[in-house]
Each structure stands twice: as structure tokens, then as C-alpha cells.
Structure 1
Amino acid sequence: MMIKTVIIWTFMAVCVLDTALGTQFKDCGSVVGKIDSLDVSSCDPEPCQLKHNTNTTVTIKLTTNEQVTAGKTVVYGIIDGLPVPFPIHPNDACKNMPCPVSTGATVTYQNKIFILPSYPKIKLVVKWEIQDQNGKDIICFAIPAIIVD
């Protein structure tokens, strides 16, 4: 009975930890802020499954270490080492998070990207940047993905 209880508690702890971690990512040069958590709607399981004709939602909880008065979203698909721009509308990051952001403030940014049916079915790395009013990366993350039907 004791072993069964330990197994159940271990399983529950792993489930809670996995939920708390959100989407796994590589920080690719956050300067003005840090990513506290990241959730990409199509990343369970990983790699992220970017499905044609659907929206993928990106939610980032971030903390700034400088004041941010304006922001711009820049997204690339890295294919064979080459960055290919993904069109993102709106690219004004202040439409996806509150602006201005005070130094040390924590905010939530949320945006969607539509996966066009014309995109080829390939593996890639998605590089997502939010830049401040000076063009410095507030945050930058990279995640592995695959475009699917």
C-alpha cells in the first residue's frame, strides 16, 4: 500500500511540474527583459505542431529590467540556418501587452500567428522577438517546430 501511495504522489508531482514549466524554449538573446513563462498552444507534445489553416497562440509572461515605451514583434522561421520572416499582424507589440511598461514590471503578452496553407510542410526553428523602442530585444526565444496538415 505504501509503494502505491508513493507512486501516485510521484506521478502527481510530475504532472504538476510539467504543467508549471509550460513550453520548453531556448532564450536567444533577451536583453531588456526576461521570460518568466511561455505557452505556445501547439507545443504539446513538442516539437510544436504548426497546423495549416489554424492559429497558434503565444502567451508570454515577462519581466522588464528597463522601461519600455513601445514594442515590435518580429518572428522568423529558421530553415537550414537561414532566417525567413513570418508575417505577424499586428507587429505592434503594445497591441498585445500593456504599454508603457515600467522597469521591473511583469506583464503578459499574447499574440497569434496564422499558419498559411501555402507554407511548406517542414521542420524549422521558430525565433520570436519582442523589441523595444530602441530595437533591443525585450525577449527572444527559439522553439523547434514542424508545419503539418
Structure 2
Amino acid sequence: MLLAVASSTPVESCKEEGKSHEESDNFVIGSCTRQPCKLKRKSTIDLEFKFIAPEDTPSITNNVHARILGIPFPFFGVDGTDACGQIFNPDGSKAGCPLKGGRQYVYKNSFKVLEVYPKLKVVVHWALTSPKNRDVMCFNVPAKITG
């Protein structure tokens, strides 16, 4: 019997009000284990990370974009979408929203790397944002669109 062990993806801190939302060894982005992560066009990348909700939050939205020369370009199909359906409890059961402050959650999602994306190096910014426009958690990861 083979056991699959997911390797963590190194990410960079994303800070809001002096607090880091990044927790090491809690991020898995596809098969990426070192920066820059390679994102192959015409592929689907699975993403999973753990986080602790900093406060009670009724709902959350995905805020996902790639920075190219300092300009944010949204990841179509993910950016601006409701993230409540991707929130799970640590035991794997569906959690959804609202989130309770101080509780740990697991976020699971996937995104398509569209053929129209140019082949270049980017910094992907991923955040879960509350209705108050505050990041519940966020991180940045250098990536290279290939393929």
C-alpha cells in the first residue's frame, strides 16, 4: 500500500496591520516544492492550506491575482468568487461560513492556468477577504507560467 505525502510549498508572508498570516508547512500548491512555482498553461492546479480565522467572519471572498510589473491581474474564475464552499474543518468535514475567530480551517480549491496567460514570471497573491475588506489570511508566491 502506497501513502501519498504532500510536500509543502514555500510561500511569502503577506502582512496586514503588522500581522503575518503565513504559517510554514501549511501550504500545498500543486506539486510545487520550491520557488518559483511552475504553473503550466492549460492545466489545473490544486491548492490547499491551513489557517486560523483571526475573528468571527460571516463570509469570505477569494482575492487572487498575479502581479506583473507591479500591476495586479485577476485570476479569472477564482478572483472575486465566494470562498465559503472551499472551507473545511481539520477533520475533512465541510465547514463553510460563518467562520469562528481562533478556529483552524482548511481551504481547498483548484484553479485553471488559462492558455491566454503569458509565459512569464509573476507573483501570485492569494487572500481570503471578509466583508469588511480585511484579509482573513493571505500569502504571496513567486511563480512562472510555462507551457
Instruction: Note whether the superposition's TM-score is higher than 0.5.
Output: yes
Aligned residue number for residue 125 of structure 1: 123
Could you tell me how far 1:42 is from its partner in structure 2? 3.8
Q: CA deviation at 1:101?
A: 1.3
Q: Give the Å deviation of 1:148.
A: 0.6
Residue aligning to 1:78: 67
Q: TM-score, normalised by structure 2?
A: 0.80
- Whole-Å Cα distance in 1 between the matches of residues 45 and 16 of structure 2? 22
Q: Following the alignment from structure 1 to structure 2, what is the Cα–Cα distance between the partners of residues 42 and 82? A: 27
Contact 1:33–1:62 (Cα < 8 Å) also in 2 = no
Q: State how many pairs are aligned.
A: 131
Query: 1:140 Cα shift?
Result: 1.2
1:45-124 mapped onto 2 (5 Å cutoff): 45-89=34-78, 91-97=81-87, 98-124=96-122
1:112 positional shift? 1.0
User: Looking at CA atoms only, which structure, 1 or 2, has the larger radius of gyration?
Assistant: 1
| 1:24 matches 2:24 | no
Report runs of 4+ in structure 1 exceeding 4 Å deviation. Answer: 30-33
Percent pairwise identity: 30
Residues 66 and 123 of structure 2 are in contact (CA less than 8 Å); yes or no, is this contact kept in structure 1? yes
- CA distance in 1 between partners of 2:146 and 2:101 (Å): 40
Task: Give the direction of change, closer, same or farther, for the CA distance of 1:33–1:64 in structure 2 (3 Å limit).
Answer: farther
**What is the TM-score when the length of structure 1 is the normalising length?**
0.79
SS at match of 2:21: strand
Q: Structure 1: how far apart are the matches of 2:134 and 2:20? A: 10
Instruction: Find the aligned partners of 2:115 and 2:30 in 1 and give their Cα distance.
Output: 18
The amino acid that maps onto 1:102 is: K
Q: What's the offset of the Cα at 1:33?
A: 8.5
Once the two structures are TM-superposed, the CA of residue 24 in structure 1 deviates from its matched residue by 1.0
**Distance change in 2, residues 1:45/1:24 (3 Å):** closer
Q: Residues 44 and 24 of structure 1: is their aligned pair in 2 closer, same or farther, counting only changes over 3 Å?
A: closer
Q: CA deviation at 1:47?
A: 1.2
Bigger fraction of residues in helix: 1
Find the counterpart in structure 1 of residue 21 from structure 2.
Answer: 34
Contact 2:14–2:20 (8 Å) recurs in 1 = no
One-letter amino acid of the counterpart of residue 45, structure 2: T
Q: In 2, distance between residues paired with 1:46 and 1:122?
A: 14
> Which stretches in structure 1 are left out of the alignment for 5+ residues?
1-15
Task: Report the alpha carbon displacement of residue 87 of structure 1 after superposing the two structures with TM.
Answer: 1.4
Residues 42 and 121 of structure 1: CA distance in aligned 2, closer, same or farther (over 3 Å): farther
Deviation, structure 1 residue 132: 1.0
